[in-house]
Amino acid sequence: MSEVKNLVEVKDLKEYFPVKGGFGKSLTLKAVDGVSFDIKPGETLGLVGESGCGKTTVGRTLLHLYKPTSGEFRFNGELVTEKNMPELRKEMQMVFQDPYSSLNPRMTVEDIIGEPLDVHHLYTTKADRREKILSLMETVGLNAEHATRYAHEFSGGQRQRIGIARALAVDPKFIVCDEPVSALDVSIQAQVINMFEELQEKLGVAYLFIAHDLLVVHHISNRIAVMYLGKIVEIADADELYDHPMHPYSESLLSAVPIPDPKIAKSKQRIILQGEIPSPLHMPSGCAFRTRCPYATERCAQECPSLEDRGNGHKVACFNR
């Protein structure tokens, strides 16, 4: 049997939520609308876009925390369904955005990290369980004496480390990192990002790294996907996207990234998007970005562009670039 090339394959994933409108009307919120991508073993795919574009929903839908409306998700070549998801949970884990609300305040650190071991019966004796927990704590830079403490006794960075240790407890091949550093101070962010990179090197784990900080995403990702109102509009190697963005939305996002050199920053032109930001409940016809796009034509109002490869795996969903 030939080796599976991609660890994660997502095809036309959709996640729609019913929303109550005025006068008893029922509307459909298309949070994720036909997203496709793949991730190779040990690779990091960064997923960026402004708040409310559906990034977190993609991650949660993949792990069946939300039931997918439609689409296909294959893990290691196997189609993921509601039926086989409990077995595959061991292979796929999530690190949540908020380290304050994702940890049980009534449980000690030892019990939080040990819970996945209990659920999946991954130890033989109590001593074996404790040994595994202490080893995981050491892996993420926590001391053994932290084991009997509660989550509220820790700083934000330490809490996020507890969440990461819990995700690593089942030895997963794939982790969805949902804005794992956005709630942390900048100095702590660097430590946590470096830890993610070290863990990947050591364990060969693949990440879907969701964030809105483009500098962080560029630093940690092999490839980056840019998302706008439920759709991926561009996907390319991290350096390629950073140096040569093709989609007008990606250009605008990258023009807003702060540059530490004042001379370069002064010469850099900030692209400020004009036009109307559409509501995800009342999407415009054709391309969703056309209401803010300087290159929009009549065709953009009638058809929605699909992701097309412009060479070297650089895919863009735009008729005019």
Task: Yes or no: say if 76 and 173 are a contact pair by the CB < 8 Å rule.
Answer: yes
**Residue ranges covered by each domain of the chain:** 8-91+172-316, 107-171
> What distance in Å separates the CA atoms of residue 209 and residue 199, rounded to the nearest whole number?
14
Task: Yes or no: say if 234 and 226 are a contact pair by the CB < 8 Å rule.
Answer: yes
Residues of the chain with pLDDT under 70: 1-4, 261, 265
- Residues sharing a CB contact under 8 Å with residue 234, sequence separation 6 or more, in sequence order: 225, 226, 241, 245, 246, 247, 249, 250, 307, 314, 315, 316, 317
Task: Yes or no: say if 153 and 68 are a contact pair by the CB < 8 Å rule.
Answer: no
pLDDT at 269: 75
> What distance in Å separates the CA atoms of residue 227 and residue 247, rounded to the nearest whole number?
11
> What distance in Å separates the CA atoms of residue 158 and residue 188, rounded to the nearest whole number?
9
User: Which CATH code fits 8-91+172-316?
Assistant: 3.40.50.300
pLDDT at 167: 94
pLDDT at 22: 73
Q: The dihedral of CA 79, 84, 85, 88: what is its sign?
A: negative
pLDDT at 154: 92
Q: The dihedral of CA 131, 135, 136, 141: what is its sign?
A: positive
- Residues sharing a CB contact under 8 Å with residue 235, sequence separation 6 or more, in sequence order: 37, 223, 224, 225, 226, 241, 307, 313, 314, 315
pLDDT tens per residue, range 253-294: 988 877 776 777 677 777 888 888 888 888 889 999 999 999
What sections of 185-261 are H helices per DSSP?
Answer: 186-203, 214-220, 238-243, 248-255
Task: Strand 206-210: give its sheet, edge to edge.
Answer: 92-95, 174-178, 206-210, 44-48, 223-228, 231-237, 315-316, 308-309
pLDDT at 188: 84
Look at residues 212, 208, 246 and name the one whose alpha carbon lies nearest to residue 227: 212
pTM: 0.92
Q: Which residues of 57-84 are buried (b: 16+ CB within 10 A; e: fewer)?
A: bbbbbbbbebebbebebbbeeeebeeee
pLDDT at 213: 84
Task: Yes or no: say if 121 and 140 are a contact pair by the CB < 8 Å rule.
Answer: no
